[in-house]
Chains A and B, each alone.
Chain A
Amino acid sequence: MQRLRRTMMFVPGNNPGMMADAHIYGPDSIMLDLEDSVTMAEKDAARLLVHNALKTIDYGNTEMVVRINPLNTPYGKKDVEAVVKAGVHVIRMPKTETAEEVVELEKEIIKVETELGCVGRTQIMAAIESTLGALNAYAIATASKRMMGIALGAEDYCANLKAQRTTGDSPFFGMELQMARQCIVTAARAAGIDALDTVFSNLNDMDTFRREVEMIKAMGFDGKSIINPRQIEVVNEIFAPKEKEIEKAKTILAAIKEAEKRGSGVIAVNGNVVIRAQRTIDLAIASGIMTKEDLA
């Protein structure tokens, strides 16, 4: 089963209370943050906290991601060392603008992995938070074999775009991010990796949150970055496939199985359709709508 990334929950890297049980809410991925949520004076302490938490806490099947500080700050390289040594699944690089930055991060990762004897273990995702980054999205997405996804960081992107964030009551809601979102999702698909949308931070406006999730799902995103456990249920509900989709997916997968059984080399459906059908089934299982046994 392909890993689902419907929800990537942000957890401040200097808050041990929140880090201890973030997985109980069932996000697909947890992103421990060493960057924006940690003050300069606490960067060292947060790094140690994240390192020890990753090494010790049993997060079950949750994918563990750490957002490091940019490599051009005094913190970035130490962050890489600390989290790779702790066995992080994915390093999220903030404010990525060019493919070269990904290559540079990969070099740092390899340095540490070589020391540990586990070269290739750590995946990379890049957050695109500027107009240059958006235009370079495909180059970034294909800059390394370790790339597993690209994500939008809307606040910095908007500042860079010289646009204001729109709110739910605006007739132009979401317009300012339209281009970036399409760049990211298109680049991710072209590169064969995941696309994740930006956070929605007004926890009191669940209606607009719901609308935004519906919109990014319609656009083709794999999931959403979230900041609170309350948002998980909404995203999962929206990403749960409808009965019709599941039936269609089952038919496609059954046809392929049948073709394989008969040894027929020719499959009447193209590869993308198969991938989508498989994803529909994965989502249905993850949403509790069906079980693996139902497939048989």
Chain B
Amino acid sequence: MEIKTAMAGTLESGDIFIQIAPNDNAGLHIDLESTVAYQFGDQIKKVITETLQGLGIDQAEVKATDKGALDCTIRARVTAAAVRATGKDVWAD
């Protein structure tokens, strides 16, 4: 899917800041910085990947700065960034 650079979220505690950009190489590349990287790094990457794939995005450069966000917040922020990157909303117009 055609994407442009977009971002969503904040750097506040309990939130995650997501930047999505086009990726020249195949696949999703996720660069994660997290205050809970040891315990939840893999889980966060999994949620990001599943959310993007669910929206039909399987090639993108993702930079995520996590401040201890819950999975539901990560899904929301990734979806918001993806919607902004593709211009295709998840809700009916």
Contacts and interface: CB of A to CB of B under 8 A. Distances in A.
B38 interface: no
B72 A57 contact: yes
Interface in B30-74: 69-73
Interface string A204-224: 000000000000000000000
A20 B71 CA distance: 11
Contacts, number: 61
Best-buried of A48, A81, A82 by chain B (most CB within 10 Å): A48
Best-buried of B15, B72, B80 by chain A (most CB within 10 Å): B72
B8 interface: yes
B71 A48 contact: no
Best-buried of A44, A53, A55, A57 by chain B (most CB within 10 Å): A44
Main secondary structure of the interface of A (DSSP, over half): helix
B91 A81 contact: yes
Interface residues of B, number: 24
Nearest to A112: B92
Nearest to B13: A17
Interface residues of A, number: 21
Contacts of B69: 16
Contacts of B13: 17
Interface of B: 8-10, 12-15, 69-73, 75-77, 79-80, 83-84, 89-93
